[in-house]
Structures are given as structure tokens and as C-alpha cells.
A and B are shown apart, each in its own frame.
Chain A
Amino acid sequence: MAIPLSYNIRNLAVRKTTTVMTALGIALTVAVLLAAFALVDGLRVAFESSGHPLQILLTRKGSDSELSSNFARTVFNELKYKQGIARSAKGEPLASLEMVTVINLVSQEFPEGSNINVRGLTPIGLEMREDMTLKQGRWFTPGRREVTIGNSVAKRFPDAQIGKKLKFGRGEWDVVGVFESPQLARNSEILSDLNQAASDFERTDVLSSALIRATDAVAHQALINDLGYDTRLNVLARSEKDYFEMQTSSGDLVRYLGTFVALIMAIGSCFAAMNTMYAAVARRSKEIGTLRILGFSRRAILASFLLESILLSLLGGLFGILLVLPLSGITTGIGSSVTFAEVAFQLHVSPQIMLKGMVFALFMGAFGGFLPAFSAARKQILVALRQV
């Protein structure tokens, strides 16, 4: 027969201070792990929400990112009437030639400045990003030195505000509007007119990339194959979704660091839990003896103490989750491993992450509690009863 759970709960409650301190130690360990996970998950959400499933990004073969890519206008003109490319309401092909560059802006978090993507595009490019809505102001006017900035940029950089001017290329650009998109990675960009930007950077003939939209999923794959294998064009064709997902690797270093630190801390917390449980076993020697006399088996004692340790770590896991919950929603930026520009994202504590934290805590409790529980179960009845 098993020893009732209430016995363990009461014991934890009686030793309030010890219980709370051990649980807090476990909580901090869990919190470190979860904070790293929340960061990486926020990044994943930002990138996975981005990209249109039917759109294809074309860059120069060999270029991982749009920033390092060169895309000639002539190549674009050659491919924009390809079969399988969708048309707009006006009958134009949904293909957009774009130029991407970066500028350096200073934020509160990074006083040294971070790089922000500036994208020059034509009206058709805006049309292909129908998910973007104006939040404030208006879109840039083609032919003018105007920019419309993404919501995350407006939030994070005091210099990028409506009515202010940004200095890049050959001069100043007016900020005329702020846009917002549910495709979160887009919000970290600054948009301007393609031809204005291209002439500023002396790139009128060679731009960065092209975005095209396929009519359906079959045409999407066909276009990727067709364009990718055309050696004359020398372009790399990737689904826009893949391009964004690839950038999730930007969080790798933080994830490795967080996991490494949490694992080391977990060893420490395991030993602390072990300490607590050994003390509990030593103090309750007489009780153990009594329980044995009452007929509880060694196995029941082992299970009971192990359970108590697990309960303790459960409490720690809960505390840990409570500690990281306030982090959820905090916005921070990280340099994308692909574009070298900052992507803003929100830390995201998802239920899966909480579950991972709980499991992590339970493992600590189980490991820390096993040896003490074992020693409790092994006690001889008479010796146990005689112990002071």
C-alpha cells in the first residue's frame, strides 16, 4: 500500500523555509532555461509568421541573403513574364524587383547602433505584400525621397518617427508613415521607392533581389525548379517562407548558451535538492521506522520520499514559470544570421515552453531525490526507531 500523498504535502508545509529555498533554487534554474527558450521561440514566431506561401524570392546564385545579392534589371525583365506567375487585378505580373541595403540607427537598447534593412520597391511590390496595413501616416510616394517604416522600427528607434528625417544614401529622407504586418519579420524594415533608393546607391541596373508570386502551389514548385536550374539566369530561387525560416538560426547561440548554463545550474540544484531530502530523511528517521512497523513496505517508503522530492521540484517548476511569465511580450532585437540586419521580436512563453520547464524541474527533483529516498527505504526498523 502506498503512503498517502498528504503525508508528503504536510511535511513540505512544516519545513516552510527549507522547502521554499530549495524550490526557489530549482525555480531559478528553470527560469534561465525558459528565458532562453522564450527568446528563441519569439524569434521563431517572428520568422515563421512571415512570407507568403506562394511567393518565391530570387537572389543571385551563391548569395544567402538579399543584402549580398546582385540582381540585374535585365534578368528581371527576362523572367517576369514566365508562365506560372500570378497577375494582379490590372493584369500586371506579380513580380517585384527590389533593392535591399542597411542603415545604422541608434536605439536605447543598443546605443552603438544596429543595422536596419531598407528596401526599395515599386507599387507592385507593395501590392504583393497586401498583409501590410498603414498604422499611421501614408505610404511613400514614388519619385520622392520618402520612407514608410515598419512598426517595430518606429517603436525601437527614436530617430525613426513620422515627421523626422533619416539620413542615408545621398541625403535626407522624410518619414511619412508607419506600417504594420502580421508577418512579424516585415515590421523590422524601412520601405522606400525603388528608383529613388537605387539611384542614391548607384545601383540603377543591378539591384538586390526579385519577389514573384505563383498562381498556385504546383506552379510555385515548378517555378522554383525552372528558375533555379536555368544556368543562364544564374539565380537562386527559394520559397519566401523558407528564406524567413532559415533565419531562425539567428537564435542558435542564445539557445546553446541558455541550455548550457541551465544544465550546469541544474547539477547544482540537483545537489541542493539532494541535501534537503537527506536532511528530511535524517530528521524523520523515527517516522520511517514507525511507518515500517505499521506495515508499509520499503518500496512504499522509497516511492513516498521520491514523490516528496518531485513535489518539491514541481513547486520549483511553478515558481520558475511564474518568474519568466513577465518576460513574455518584452521586445528585443537580434541580428539576423542571414540579413545582418536587426529583427525585432517579442519573447514568447508558450504553453509548450512551460511544459518543458516543468519536465526539466521534475527531472531535477527525481535525480536529487532518488539517493535520499533509497537510503530511507534501506533503513533498518530498529536502528531507525532508536535514532534521535
Chain B
Amino acid sequence: MRFLTLIVKNCLRNRRRSFLTIFSLSISLCLLGVMAALYYALFFGAPPTAQARRAVTRHKVSIVFPMPIYYREQIRKVRGVEEVAIWQWYGGAYRDSRDQRNFFPRLAVEADRLFKIYLDYQIPDEQKQAFIRDPAGCILGRSLADRFNFKVGDKILIKGDIFPFDLDLTVRGIYSSEESNEDTLWFNFKYLENALRNSSRLAAGTFTILATDAADIPRISKEVDELFANAPAPTRTESEYSFGLSFLSFLGNIKVILMSICGAVTFTILLISANTMAMSVRERVREVGVLKTLGFQSSTIMGMILAESAIIALIGGVVGLSIAQVLCIGIRQGPAIVDQTKTLTIQPPVLLALLGLSMIIGISSAIVPAWNASRTNIIDALRFTD
């Protein structure tokens, strides 16, 4: 570490180049950081605490097929199940449905059970009670309410498409949540019951289960599915977290897409860094000759060049990842495609891995030029003109 000053001086010898390198490294690393955070959140992340206790039962073949209402009581009896609620996807059209901006999920749910299962929903108590009491009531997520400027007491008309009737709802409350999406309109399941009386179409789209203990979910899922294995509508139960992920495949092969982007970005960083170091070492071959005449050993010279590159890459990494963290905050505020983006952040293991990666890239990109420089003999080095 005696040579730290010298190394830092070397980093600063060509300020413009160091700045450009750090800047382009940090841009790439910022991108890599966001992508890696996304990948981690989607495929390795743990569900937030309230969500971890929830599971979803749907029709085994596809979510578009309904299940009989009476399943609820049977699911309720499975050991470890604290509460079960029926969901039904209503679909429908709000205003002009051709305009994508008018789309938001509209779901029928058993009003009283919703709050027992969605423990993370924050809603004033009187609004909660008003929603439970009103069969034609609905509640909206905060961001949805802001988007359309809905207020408590407003009327919302939704034209039915899947169902043969329209909804005429009154906003009874607005909920907010730290971890779930705030884009859903929930209306009282009684509305469906009243409209579809005696119809075979009165059915459950999915059942949402609250388990007493998150660790029980795999067992509960298995037992629920066994219950209905030979029923006319076989089921598939999984944690709400992986249920949400299953929608991602609609968007294409996200895993491969994210991985290839990360790969391309990493390789770009390697190229940028290697290029800079090659240029910067070539410029000081003569200087290396001088250092050698002064008695510096080849290994020391090599170490100094490697350290210089590592420092530059690390600075790029720190700057880039800080920007990435800020971007993550931006993504958290944005509309949630999946709940996972609501809590998107660069987790410590990802952060460490990426910082490590930037250092490894810094060092490995300098190996060839450093090796060449440390091996040139003094005479050649001193005679070198570029």
C-alpha cells in the first residue's frame, strides 16, 4: 500500500479519460444494477411479510375457468388455513376500452374477508365498514384513485363483457398498501350474487388463502389440490408470490431477455474498461522503463497497474449503482406490472456481487496490458516512441 499515492496519481494523470471511462462504466453498471435487481426480485426474492402468508387456488387448466363456490368451505377446513376468500375477475370496460389507459383490474371479492386476508391494506375503519355494508360498493387503490381522480362517494359505471350485466358502483373507500399493487378496484361479491342469481355462471375465479404460518403454504397447497384432484374442476394452488410471477410468461421469456441484457452489458463494461487500460498503459511504456531503472520490480509494476484499473472500475461501480438505486425508487413509484416492482431495490447480496464484478472486470481488463508492460525490458521501454 506504499504506492497508493502513486496509483491515485496515475488514475488522475489523464483526467478527461478517467472521467469518460468512469462515466461510461457507471452508465453500464447502473443498467446492470437495475436489471439484476429486477431479476433478483422476480426469481430469487422473498415475498414481503404480509404476502408470504397468502396462497392462491385457481383452476388447474387455466385461470379463465371458474370453480364452484362451495370449494371455499372445503379449503377452509384444511389445517393451517386461517381464512379463504372468493375472487372473481369481472373484466368489463370503463369509458372507451380501446384506450389502454382506461384499463385496470376489477375484481369481485367477499368484502368482509378481503381485509382479513390483505393485512397490508391500510384503509380508514369507517370506509372499510361502508364497503362491507354496501352490496354495490367498491374500494380502489390509491394510485388508481389518483389516476382517475376518484373520490369517496363517486359513481363508477363499468360495462360488462365477460358477464352479461353492467356494474353501477359507488366508491366507498380508498386503500393504500406498502407491498401490494394499488391499481385494483374491488367490488362486493354480493353484487355478482344478486345479478347472477341461480345462474351457473355464479362461480369463483380464484380463492385467496391466508395461512396461519407462511411455512405451511407448500403443505396447504398440496392438500388443497388433492382435495379436488378428481373433482370436475381440479385446482392448482401456489403461493401468491409465484401466482403473480406466472403472469410474467405472458410478456415473453423474461428470464432469457433479462439474462441476455445483463450478459451484453457486462461484456460492454469489460470492453470499455479493457480499452481504457490498454490505451493508458501504452502511453507510459517509457515511464515503466524509468520505474524499472529505479528498481521497481515487475510484479510491483503489474500490481500497480491492476490496482489502478480496479480503482477506476470500482468508482464507476459505486457511482453507477447509486444511480441504479435511485432508478429503483423511480420504478417503485411507477405503475406495478407485478407486485415485485413495488418493493424493488438492489438487495445487499446483489450490490456486493455487482461491486465485486466491477472490480473483477477492472482487474481482468488490465491483465494483458499490465503483463506486457511489466515484461518489457528496460532498454526497449526507454526507447519506445508511440
Contact, CB under 8 Å: B268 / A261? no
Q: Is the CB of B249 within 8 A of A268?
A: no
| Cβ of A196 under 8 Å from chain B | no
Is B93 in contact with chain A by the CB < 8 A criterion?
yes
Contact with A along B264-285 (1 / 0, CB 8 A): 1101100110111011000000
CA distance A311 to B166 in the complex (A): 62
Smallest CB–CB gap between A285 and chain B, Å? 11
Chain A residues positioned under 8 Å from B97 (CB to CB): 62, 64
Residue of B93, B274, B337 touching A62 (CB-CB under 8 A)? B93
Q: B250–A68 contact, CB under 8 A?
A: no
Number of A-B contacts (CB under 8 A): 143
State in angstroms the CA–CA spacing of A29 and B253 once bound together.
Answer: 20
- A276-B28 CB under 8 A given contacts A32-B261, A103-B62, A254-B252: no
Residue B24 is within 8 A (CB to CB) of chain A in the complex: yes
B227-273 residues with Cβ-Cβ distance < 8 A to A are 232, 246, 249-253, 257, 260-261, 264-265, 267-268, 271-272
How long is the Cα–Cα vector from A70 to B163 in the complex, in angstroms? 9
Q: Chain A residues near B272 (CB, 8 Å)?
A: 25, 268, 271-272, 275
Report yes or no: A261 in contact with B31, Cβ–Cβ below 8 A: yes
Contact B253 A269 (CB under 8 A): no
B141 at the A/B interface (Cβ < 8 Å)? no
Cα A276 to Cα B274 in complex, Å, equals 12
B267 to A, closest residue via Cβ: A28
Give the complex CA separation of A61 and B160 in angstroms: 9
When distances are taken between beta carbons in the complex, the residues of chain A under 8 Å from B275 are 18, 21-22, 25, 272, 275-276
Query: Closest chain A residue to B274 by CB distance?
Result: A21
A254 / chain B contacts, CB cutoff of 8 Å: 251-252, 257
One digit per residue, 1 when the CB lies within 8 angstroms of any chain B CB and 0 when it does not, for chain A 321-334 equals 00000000000111
List of B residues within 8 angstroms of A296 by Cβ: none
Shortest Cβ gap from B289 to chain A (Å): 15
Q: Let me know if B62 and A102 touch, CB within 8 A.
A: yes
- Given A271-B24, A272-B272 in contact, is the A104-B161 Cβ separation under 8 Å? no
- The answer to whether A24 has its CB under 8 Å from any CB of chain B is yes
Q: Does A230 contact B (CB under 8 A)?
A: no
In the assembly, what is the distance between CA of A104 and CA of B162, in Å? 20
- In the bound complex, what is the Cα–Cα distance between A69 and B20 (angstroms)? 57
Q: Is the CB of A264 within 8 A of B31?
A: yes
- Judge whether B28 and A268 touch: CB under 8 Å: yes
> Nearest-CB distance from B348 to chain A (Å)?
24
Interface SS of chain B: helix, strand, loop or mixed? helix
CB closest residue in chain B, given A60: B161
Encode B175-194 as 1/0 by CB contact (under 8 A) with A.
00000000000000000000
Segment at the interface with B among A90-98, A108-116, A297-305:
A108-116
CB distance from A70 to the nearest CB of B (A): 7
B92 on interface, CB distance cutoff 8 Å: yes
The A-contacting residues of B in range 30-78, CB under 8 angstroms, are: 30-31, 35, 60-62, 64
A69-B24 Cα distance, complex, nearest whole Å: 51
The total of chain B residues at the interface (CB under 8 A) is 50
Which chain B residue has the least Cβ–Cβ distance from A25?
B271
Complex contact A340–B250 (CB within 8 A) = yes
B101 lies within 8 A of chain A by Cβ: no
The residues in A between 255 and 311 inclusive whose CB is less than 8 angstroms from any CB of B are 257, 261, 264-265, 267-272, 274-276, 278-279, 283
Contact B24 A63 (CB under 8 A): no
Q: Is B345 an interface residue (CB 8 A)?
A: no
Chain B, residue nearest A334 (CB): B252
Bound CA–CA A70/B61 (angstroms): 20
With A62-B97, A253-B251, A267-B27 given, is the CB distance from A18 to B279 under 8 Å?
yes
Q: Which residue of B lies closest to A252 (CB)?
A: B100
Contacting residues of chain B (337-361) with chain A, CB-CB under 8 angstroms: 337
Query: Closest approach, in angstroms, between the C-beta of B61 and any C-beta of chain A?
Result: 5
Docked-complex contact B271 and A274, CB < 8 angstroms: no
Q: How far is the CA of A114 from the CA of B274 in the complex (A)?
A: 43
Q: Which residue of A lies closest to B92 (CB)?
A: A62
A216 in the interface, Cβ–Cβ < 8 Å? no
Closest Cβ of chain A to B221, distance in Å, is 15
Q: Which of A28, A67, A70 has the most CB of B within 10 A?
A: A28
Judge whether B386 is part of the interface by a CB distance below 8 angstroms: yes
B91 interface residue (CB < 8 Å to A): yes
A49 to B21, CA, bound (A): 46
Chain A CB within 8 A of B332 CB: no
In the assembled complex, 27 residue pairs joining A and B whose CB atoms fall closer than 8 Å, in A order, are A18-B275, A25-B275, A28-B267, A28-B268, A35-B260, A60-B161, A61-B161, A64-B161, A70-B162, A103-B62, A112-B246, A112-B249, A202-B200, A249-B100, A257-B257, A261-B261, A261-B265, A264-B31, A268-B27, A268-B268, A271-B21, A271-B27, A272-B20, A275-B21, A275-B24, A333-B252, A340-B250
What are the 7 closest A-B residue pairs judged by CB atoms, nearest first? A335-B250, A271-B24, A62-B161, A268-B24, A268-B27, A21-B275, A334-B252
A28-B264, A276-B275 given; 7 more Cβ-contact pairs under 8 Å: A62-B92, A104-B60, A261-B261, A272-B271, A275-B272, A335-B251, A340-B64
